[in-house]
Amino acid sequence: MKDKELTTEQKIKYVQDTLFVISGKWKLPILIAMNQGCYRFRDIQRSVLPITTRVLSRELKDLEENKLVIRTVYDAPKTVEYTVSPYCKSLKPLVDEMIKWGQNHRRKISGK
Amino acid sequence: MKDKELTTEQKIKYVQDTLFVISGKWKLPILIAMNQGCYRFRDIQRSVLPITTRVLSRELKDLEENKLVIRTVYDAPKTVEYTVSPYCKSLKPLVDEMIKWGQNHRRKISGK
DNA sequence: CTGTATCCATGATGATACTG
DNA sequence: CAGTATCATCATGGATACAG
């Protein structure tokens, strides 16, 4: 954890791991929407339109496997709830950086 | 730039912009290799094996369009050099975060 | 509402050969 | 060495219908 001396290969591997978890068209948008308070399947879908149920279902499963979201089923009445896990908060610095960089990049490219 | 009050839609848009620029299997590995001192087409290819010339060529063009790498042609002898642009340094905080997160995530998933 | 099942379109990547 | 051209393959995501 304190070892900053990673080889290039290791750096590449870790970056690819990260990309693998968060890339794709929808994963981060879904997480952002969920952080905004959406927790029902339908609510999430509406927030991240135009995602289809098939894709949303798949993405939520991936996120669950990566321990970023938690799926809870309640009986009586039967409902399903998705919530971001505590671990998901560890993504915040990364996402914030991405927002910042993307915002700046848009200026850089279109403005110039 | 000081305006932190972005809407969810804006955040999603900027994140997607960023993902679009850096995602794909090779872009970040290429940039990392270039930061390690590779500047010739062939050197880069060897560092990021097993990328093909076709894909590397395409990726370098994309990166050039996004002003992250600079392609320079010299005569006498005719050589082509790729270098990371100064602007590319703006990606460092993001990449560092990705390395850090990926490293931790591997522990989280495999260790648990 | 919360999904799953099919089928399909597209883009991204790979293999290989070839050119200046 | 620095690419381009072609063709093949595969992963991603979309459309639609349908099930519990």
Give the mean pLDDT of chain A: 92
Give the mean pLDDT of chain B: 91
Q: What is the spatial distance between Cα A56 and Cα A60, in angstroms, rounded to a whole number? A: 6
Interface with B, mutate which of A7, A12, A44 (most B CBs under 10 A): A12
SS3 B26: coil
Query: At residue A22, does pLDDT exceed 80?
Result: yes
Q: What is the spatial distance between Cα B76 and Cα B60, in angstroms, rounded to a whole number? A: 23
* Domains assigned to chain A: 3-110 (1.10.10.10)
Please indicate if any CB of chain A lies within 8 Å of the CB of B46.
Answer: no
Q: What is the pLDDT of residue B24?
A: 87
Q: What is the pLDDT of residue A110?
A: 84
Q: What is the spatial distance between Cα A78 and Cα A33, in angstroms, rounded to a whole number? A: 23
Q: What is the spatial distance between Cα B32 and Cα B112, in angstroms, rounded to a whole number? A: 29
A41: CB within 7 A of chain C nucleic strand: yes
Please name the nucleotide lying closest to A73, CA to C1'.
C2
Q: How far is B10 from chain A (nearest CA, A)?
A: 9
CA of B52 to C1' of C17 (A): 13
Q: What is the pLDDT of residue B86?
A: 96
Please indicate if any CB of chain B lies within 8 Å of the CB of A18.
Answer: yes
Q: What is the pLDDT of residue B1?
A: 53
Q: What is the pLDDT of residue A3?
A: 55
The β-bridge relationship of strands A69-74 and B79-84 is: unpaired
Residue A68 contacts by C-beta under 8 Å, 6 or more apart in sequence? A21, A31, A84, A85, A87, A88, A91
* Contact criterion met (CB < 8 Å) for A105 and B17: yes
Q: What is the pLDDT of residue A29?
A: 92
pLDDT tens profile B14-57: 998 999 999 888 999 999 999 988 899 999 999 988 999 999 99
Q: Give me the mean pLDDT over the A36-64 stretch.
A: 94
Q: How far is B2 from chain A (nearest CA, A)?
A: 11
At A112, is the pLDDT very low, low, confident or very high (cuts 50, 70, 90)? low
Nucleotides of C under 7 A from a protein CB: 1-6, 12-17
Task: Output the CA–CA distances (angstroms, integers) from residue B51 to B13, B31, B47, in the order listed.
Answer: 30, 14, 9
